[in-house]
Amino acid sequence: MRFFEITDDSGFLGVFNPQTYISFVDEDWEFGQLIRHFKQQIGHKNLLLWGSGGEGALKVGIGEKFSGVSGFKEIEGIIEVTNGRLCLINYESLTMGAQFPDVSLPEAHLRDCVFELSNGLYKCRIVQMNNVEARLDTEPELDFIIEFTLTDDGAEPWSHIPWFESECN
């Protein structure tokens, strides 16, 4: 398992394919428009985005097989790897890419959140290890475990953003 730390100032965390993800939306995007864009990119298997349950620095473990570890909650999704790499991403970077056509994702401060996987279609298991909102003074070992396994399953992509409540979702 590989370990990463990523900041989350808005309650969203994601994994994206830097080669296929289309970031730009509009210089004056509105929140509903942005959520629709994210859902479209999820549908194209370029992005998995979910509500993280809180804010702050998150510790994430990335594994290349399903371990069966359990946590506070979990979900599975589908993402495609086309150039041998994926990247963790936060809402702040996604919005910068959405607003400015010259912003290339991942931004420089997230380049250490890139990880390698062989090309192919992956089932992705996301396990939130604890209730992020409830962890006041404790420092957990990991906030999320994200595991990948190659699949030929034609599973449907998410139609919503998991663990996020909004009328736009």
CATH number of the domain that residue 22 is part of? 2.60.34.30
Q: Is residue 7 part of a domain?
A: yes
| Containing structural domain, residue 22 | 2-150
Q: At 133, is the pLDDT very low, low, confident or very high (cuts 50, 70, 90)?
A: low
> Could you give the CA distance from residue 138 to residue 59 in angstroms, rounded to a whole number?
13
Bigger pLDDT: 62 vs 155:
62
Structure tokens at 73: 């909650």
Contact 24, 78 (CB under 8 A): no
Residue 158 counted as domain residue: no
Instruction: State yes or no: pLDDT of 17 exceeds 90.
Output: yes
Contact 146, 15 (CB under 8 A): yes
Q: How far apart are CA 165 and CA 5, in angstroms?
A: 25
pLDDT digits (tens, 9 = 90+) for 37-92: 999 999 999 999 999 988 889 999 999 999 989 999 999 999 999 999 999 999 99
Alpha-helical segments (H) within the chain: 31-43, 91-99
On whether the pTM is more than 0.85, the answer is yes
Number of domains in the chain: 1
